[in-house]
């Protein structure tokens, strides 16, 4: 019975507070009111804050409602504690109508905050927190279009200066949800993706510029989640992106930002071997040579089997790339091309170049080992000495697992296979070769190793 009465009182207070502010109230010149009203306002603010800080939201309710109705411009704390009070009431309520009433009240409080304290905090920030509370109270029943509209307005205002930072992520989840439930919203989702990624990239640059590496790292995680969502959504397949950009590249061939967007978009979903990618790469490279554009032209050269040109662009891409791991990967792609052509010496050089950019690239050492093993039968004039070549191959594999634990399993499998091809003890005795002595592997390999036998 007590709970029922309390619920009725709360409803009555909510209705009362929803009415217009007290007649004669001047939020600018007299935010606390005049005379006795001012005394009551200050008293109720104190009572409300004391109870709310102690998480006694039932005790905070009545003084909060008084300040909200009679002196709404007196303190921003009215709008900080207000949502907490009504979220607590929402959590205790069992009646659906009551829950909706409290939800609506929380939403109203944010709107009123914008009216009286919209200059204290960015509108985008207030809208983001409004969206967060909406999602919290609605749970799985949250209407993603409501979330989308609030966060779209928030991010549209703050762009690369959005705070809180994870608003970018929640916005893209809402955009994706709408697309998944209505395929007609695909273009909207794609457009939202590119615009939001551009904001996040700039926000990351802003954070680095302010030496705020914590925010930069967090934003990088936010971006990674957004990109993965896009790649897995089905909206960003090669055909869709090609159609989306088909008529836009030519008019924007002098727009570096746009061309970079095209390359990033197509590259993110594995469409870096399309004509559109090559066209955008060529335009961009002429405007401003970059690693991404060089890779696009390298891929085009590969498609056309122009390997010398591909070599030029891969090397150029690696030199321009600021991410050393990516630069190393570019040289590994080049090493793979030479390997497939059975130009082992050039393949090894490209792998060593990859190690210059990333000394812990275990795959580079593994490739060199495989090149050596592939040459084993052709290094010595005596077929019996082929087993010595596998020694230098195993040396490289041991180096691979020492610098890069991530390739240890692959390296160990190859070590077991190549070790089985070592020269046997009897053959070594017949050829005057002893375990532990130093031997030089001739030909293009030209490396020295220690003899091990099986």
Residue 8 confidence (pLDDT): 42
Q: Which residue has the tokens 């306002």?
A: 41
| Stretch 80-85: mean pLDDT | 96
Query: Looking at the predicted structure, is the pLDDT value of residue 188 above 70?
Result: yes
User: Does pTM top 0.85 for this prediction?
Assistant: no
Tokens coding 199: 């904001």
Q: Across the strands, what pairs with 381?
A: none
- Place 22 in a pLDDT band, splitting at 50, 70 and 90: low
Do 380 and 390 form a contact (C-beta atoms < 8 A)?
no
Residue 235 confidence (pLDDT): 85
Residue 12 confidence (pLDDT): 42
Query: Looking at the predicted structure, is the pLDDT value of residue 20 above 70?
Result: no
Distances (CA, A) of 216 to 211, 257, 275, 436: 9, 21, 34, 53
C-alpha–C-alpha distance, residues 156 and 263, integer Å: 24
- The DSSP code for 164 is S
The per-residue b/e assignment along 10-24, b for 16 or more CB within 10 angstroms, e otherwise, is beebbeebeeebeee
Residue 34 confidence (pLDDT): 85
The per-residue b/e assignment along 296-330, b for 16 or more CB within 10 angstroms, e otherwise, is bbbbbbbeeeebeebbebbbbbbebbeeeebbbbb
| Stretch 257-274: mean pLDDT | 82
Q: Where are the domains of the chain?
A: 1-120, 142-235, 361-454
C-alpha–C-alpha distance, residues 43 and 294, integer Å: 69
| Stretch 280-299: mean pLDDT | 87
- The DSSP code for 424 is P
C-alpha–C-alpha distance, residues 242 and 262, integer Å: 9
Residue 263 confidence (pLDDT): 85
Query: Looking at the predicted structure, is the pLDDT value of residue 11 above 80?
Result: no
Query: Looking at the predicted structure, is the pLDDT value of residue 17 above 80?
Result: no
Residue 416 confidence (pLDDT): 95
Query: Looking at the predicted structure, is the pLDDT value of residue 14 above 80?
Result: no
C-alpha–C-alpha distance, residues 325 and 354, integer Å: 9
């Amino acid at each position: 019975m007590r709970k029922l009465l309390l619920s009725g009182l709360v409803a009555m207070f909510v209705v009362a507070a929803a009415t217009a502010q007290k007649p004669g109230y001047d939020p600018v010149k007299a935010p606390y009111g005049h005379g006795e009203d001012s005394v009551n306002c200050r008293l109720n603010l104190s009572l409300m804050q004391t109870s709310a800080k102690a998480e006694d939201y039932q005790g905070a309710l009545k003084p909060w409602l008084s300040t909200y109705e009679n002196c709404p411009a007196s303190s921003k704390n009215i709008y900080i504690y207000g949502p907490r009070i009504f979220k607590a009431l929402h959590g205790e309520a069992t009646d659906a109508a009551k829950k909706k009433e409290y939800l609506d009240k929380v939403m109203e409080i944010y709107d009123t905050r914008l009216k009286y304290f919209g200059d204290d905090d960015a509108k985008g920030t207030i809208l983001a927190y409004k969206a967060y509370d909406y999602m919290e109270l609605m749970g799985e029943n949250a209407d993603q279009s409501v979330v989308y509209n609030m966060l779209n307005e928030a991010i549209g205002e703050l762009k690369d200066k959005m705070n809180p930072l994870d608003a970018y992520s929640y916005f893209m989840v809402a955009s994706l949800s709408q697309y998944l439930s209505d395929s007609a919203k695909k273009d909207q989702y794609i457009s939202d993706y590119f615009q939001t990624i551009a904001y996040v990239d700039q926000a990351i640059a802003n954070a680095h510029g302010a030496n705020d590496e914590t925010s930069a790292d967090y934003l990088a995680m936010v971006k990674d989640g957004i990109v993965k969502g896009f790649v897995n959504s089905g909206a960003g397949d090669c055909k869709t992106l090609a159609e989306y950009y088909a008529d836009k590249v030519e008019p924007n061939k002098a727009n570096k930002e746009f061309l970079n967007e095209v390359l990033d978009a197509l590259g993110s979903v594995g469409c870096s071997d399309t004509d559109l990618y090559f066209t955008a790469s060529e335009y961009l490279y002429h405007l401003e040579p970059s690693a991404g554009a060089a890779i696009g032209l390298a891929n085009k050269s590969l498609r056309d089997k122009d390997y010398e040109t591909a070599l030029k662009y891969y090397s150029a891409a690696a030199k321009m790339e600021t991410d050393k791991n990516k630069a190393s990967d570019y040289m590994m792609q080049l090493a793979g091309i030479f390997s497939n052509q059975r130009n082992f010496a050039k393949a090894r050089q490209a792998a060593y170049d990859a190690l210059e950019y990333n000394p812990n690239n275990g795959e580079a050492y593994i490739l060199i080992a495989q090149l050596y093993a592939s040459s084993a039968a052709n290094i010595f004039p005596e077929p019996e000495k082929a087993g010595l070549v596998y020694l230098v191959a195993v040396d490289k594999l041991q180096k691979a697992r020492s610098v890069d634990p991530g390739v240890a399993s692959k390296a160990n499998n190859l070590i077991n296979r190549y070790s089985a091809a070592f020269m046997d003890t009897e053959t070594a005795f017949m050829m005057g070769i002893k375990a532990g002595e130093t031997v030089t592997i001739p030909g293009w390999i030209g490396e020295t190793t220690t003899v091990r036998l099986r």
